[in-house]
Amino acid sequence: MATKPADTPDVQGAAAPVYRTSPTAVEALDAHLKDHPEDLPVHTQEWDVSRSDIYVEDRWQPIFAEMRSKDPINKVTGSPYGDYWNVTSHKAIQHVEALPEIFSSSWKNGGITILDRHDDTVEDQRFELPMFIAMDRPEHTGQRRTVAPAFTPAEMTRLADDLRARTGEVLDSLPYGETFDWVEKVSIELTTQMLAILFDFPWKDRHLLSFWSDWAGDTEVALIPGLDEMRHTILMEMAAYFTQLWQERANAGEAPDLISRMIHSEAMNAMSPQEYMGNLVLLIVGGNDTTRNTMSGIVHAMDAFPDQRALFESDPSVIPNAVQECIRYQTPLAHMRRTATEDTDLFGHQVKAGEKLVLWYLSANRDETVFDNPDTLDFTRENARRHLAFGYGIHRCVGARLAELQLRILLEEMHARRMRVKVVGKVERVRANFVHGFRKLEVQLEKF
């Protein structure tokens, strides 16, 4: 859960601070469902894996395993998210992603999550933002090209010292022999700091980034009209804040932070305010929930597989592959969605133009035809890098190198401090079919 920011923004003239009195997205959803349990979507079909209870209760594994063995591409009709195709095997997902002309990401066709961008039930109340993850070629190409230089190996080297120093500070601030929430104290804090460094965002307001991201990226909140309005207000406020930053950076010279890069690039400096905002939300949400939940996943997985924790402790040379394996094992985004632009055959299934396909990365990364013993964490796994957690093809995660760097630094700095993290208390997971992660992870530290 994001911490609510207490301070007034640094940026003068930003809109009235709604966020100071607003609950986080998770708090708002919890409160709403307590009073209106009837608003929880009803799912009746066995293979309707859009149901969030299987993720919050961590019992999705056998359902996807059954689909992979019986019918890896299958159609669900009449779910609360409408009709959709489940695409569950590694091979089929790569195939779909390699054909972006036939399988569109465009928001005009429905976007990149199972939630339809133009859902009749809540139409006009939704705050829609165009972003390049939800664009097809050629628009996608130019906008991605603008952002990509922020993630080159040279840029990673430039950012590494700062990230390492900040990571060390956070780890050094943690208590030993006391129970605390790893999600709040480490995963959220470090990810927020990473994004603030990337955007050169006003440091004392950095917690706004995770607060906004939670509201922007929650597919469950968007299904409930009352909460969707609150989301709109909060995102408008984010828009005001970033518009102010945009103006400040436009008046300053070129700089390597992402906002300046966007302003001073040809492909992006003519963006409409909605496009500018959409791409910022993309970078914040894209980098936030994903990295955060992998940081929690690492600790949870090492606790569940003590032999792998022992290996990490005795041989830090496994760290780079351990990062890949932890990303595979956690898969912090459960799915991406595509929409067919024409009638087509998909491994013997007749997919019609306009139909939606949900690519379940969570399932591909447990595909037993690619990964031996896929439900086991194995830091020596030779093909861990073949995971699809970053997607595949033209939309493959542009921030992957930054995420890998931050995760590697976290493991290296934990190792340097001989820090062992044990899960001792509550483990709460996110109630969502899109973000796959942890809300709470109560741990204690000891030295190894």
What DSSP state is assigned to residue 185? Answer: I
Nearer to ligand HEM, 28 or 96 (CB): 96
Q: From CA 282, how far away is CA 37, in angstroms rounded?
A: 31
Piece of the chain touching ligand HEM by CB under 6 A; list 32-40, 159-167, 204-212, 290-298:
290-298
Between 15 and 160, whose beta carbon lies closer to ligand HEM? Answer: 160
Query: Which of 228, 20, 199 has the alpha carbon at shortest distance from 124?
Result: 228
Say how many residues make up the chain. Answer: 448
Contact yes or no for 244/12 (Cβ under 8 A): yes
**238 near ligand HEM (CB under 6 A):** no
To which residue do tokens 């019986």 refer? Answer: 70
Binding positions for ligand HEM, 63-102, rule CB under 6 A? 97
Cβ proximity to ligand HEM, 68 vs 337, nearer residue: 337
Considering the rule CB under 6 A, would residue 357 count as an interface residue with ligand HEM? no
Given candidates 23, 286, 374, 437, which one binds ligand HEM under the rule CB under 6 A?
Answer: 286
Assigned token pair, 96: 């779909």
Stretch touching ligand HEM by CB under 6 A, among 165-173, 243-251, 376-384, 388-396: 388-396
Least distance from ligand HEM to the Cβ atom of residue 45, Å: 25
Choose, by CB under 6 A, the member of 24, 109, 265, 290 that binds ligand HEM: 290
Choose between 86 and 290: whose C-beta lies nearer to ligand HEM.
290
**Residue 260 and residue 250: Cα distance in Å, rounded?**
7
Pick from 96, 227, 240, 283 the residue near ligand HEM by CB under 6 A. Answer: 283
Among 327, 364, 410, 443, binds ligand HEM (CB under 6 A): 327
List 294, 365, 433, 444, residue binding ligand HEM (CB under 6 A): 294
Q: Please say which residue, 111 or 391, places its beta carbon nearer to ligand HEM.
A: 391
Stretch of residues binding ligand HEM (CB under 6 A), selected from 55-63, 213-221, 372-380, 384-392: 384-392
Packing angle of the helix pair 306-314, 319-330 (nearest 10 deg): 160
**Torsion, CA 74, CA 80, CA 83, CA 84, rounded to 10:** -50
217 is a site residue for ligand HEM (CB under 6 A): no
Residues 404-433, interacting with ligand HEM (CB under 6 A)? none
Q: In whole angstroms, what is the distance from residue 126 CA to residue 218 CA?
A: 12
Distance of CA 120 to the CA centre of its chain: 26
Q: Report residue 154 as tokens.
A: 């040279």
Fill in the per-residue mask, 180 to 209: x = in contact with ligand HEM (CB under 6 A), - = not in contact: ------------------x-----------
DSSP line for 75-115: EEEEETTEEEEEE-SHHHHHHHHT-TTTEE--TTTT-SSSS
Only one of the segments 23-31, 82-90, 260-268, 398-406 lies at the binding site for ligand HEM (rule: CB under 6 A); that segment is 398-406
Closest C-alpha to 223, from 35, 375, 50, 64: 50
For the CB of residue 194, give the shortest distance to ligand HEM in the complex, in Å.
Answer: 7
CA angle, corner 250, sides to 245 and 256, nearest 5? 85
Contact between 435 and ligand HEM by CB under 6 A: the answer reads no
Give every CB contact of residue 16 below 8 A, 6+ residues apart in sequence. 237
Residue 447 Cβ vs ligand HEM, minimum distance, rounded to whole Å: 28
Q: Name, in order, each residue with C-beta under 8 angstroms of 28's C-beta and a sequence gap of 6 or more.
A: 22, 221, 227, 230
Residue closer to ligand HEM, measured from CB, 28 or 295: 295
Chosen residue from 28, 114, 133, 277 binding ligand HEM by CB under 6 A:
133
Among 19, 55, 60, 132, binds ligand HEM (CB under 6 A): 132
* Of 187, 178, 233, 176, residue with least CA distance to 210: 187
Rg of the chain over Cα atoms, rounded to whole angstroms, equals 21
In this structure, are residues 249 and 260 in contact, taking their beta carbons and an 8 Å threshold?
yes
260 binds ligand HEM (CB under 6 A): no
Q: Which of 111, 287, 374, 437 binds ligand HEM (CB under 6 A)?
A: 287
Segment interacting with ligand HEM, rule: CB under 6 A, options 38-46, 113-121, 266-274, 287-295: 287-295
Q: For binding to ligand HEM (CB under 6 A), which residues are involved? A: 97, 132-133, 144, 198, 282-283, 286-287, 290-291, 294, 327, 332-333, 336, 389-393, 395-399, 402-403
